[in-house]
Amino acid sequence: MFRPASEQVDVLFNGNIYEWAVSIGAIQKGEALNYLKVFNITQQDVLSFLKDHPIPGLDCSIEKYQGIYDGPKWSYENGKYIIGWRERGVFEAEYIVENKLEFKELWVKYLVQSLGFPA
């Protein structure tokens, strides 16, 4: 029933998860979306996918990770990269770094962990 890991990760970042889950028979139309019923990927699957694909928040979908919506966010202020979580309009910084390479590595790690999949 589960699709290949690369397809699952691609849909997770780039597709309409609900429509995809219905189309593959993981859930019925009108049923609540349950990630445990739809996905069987790990953090390592996501990391492997991101090695060869654009990184959400850096290479694509930048506005989603800097906008007003809840979830993982990053910003660049006063020469520092700030990574954290936004919930109900409140942003809580978890990492503050000045080095761009370190920022990219932390962002990928933080983004992947925020998805809640097993290591």
pLDDT, one tens digit per residue, over 31-67 is 999 988 899 999 999 999 999 999 999 998 888 888 8
The answer, yes or no, to whether residue 1 has pLDDT greater than 80, is no
- The predicted-structure confidence for 83-110, as pLDDT tens digits, reads as follows 999 999 899 999 999 999 999 999 999 9
Do 65 and 34 sit in the same domain of this protein?
Answer: no
Do 65 and 111 sit in the same domain of this protein?
Answer: yes
Residue 25 lies in a domain: yes
pTM over 0.85: no
Residue 47 lies in a domain: no
Residue 49 lies in a domain: no
Please report which confidence band the pLDDT of residue 78 belongs to, taking 50, 70 and 90 as the band edges.
very high
- pLDDT given at position 107: 96
Q: Which of 58, 63, 61, 84 is nearest to 12 (CA)?
A: 61
Q: Distance (Å, rounded) from C-alpha 67 to C-alpha 31?
A: 29
Residue 46 lies in a domain: no
Do 66 and 36 sit in the same domain of this protein?
Answer: no
Residue 2 lies in a domain: yes
Number of domains, the chain = 2
Do 65 and 119 sit in the same domain of this protein?
Answer: yes
Residue 88 lies in a domain: yes
Residue 3 lies in a domain: yes
Q: Which residue type sits at 56?
A: P
Do 59 and 114 sit in the same domain of this protein?
Answer: yes
Structural domain boundaries enclosing 116 = 55-119
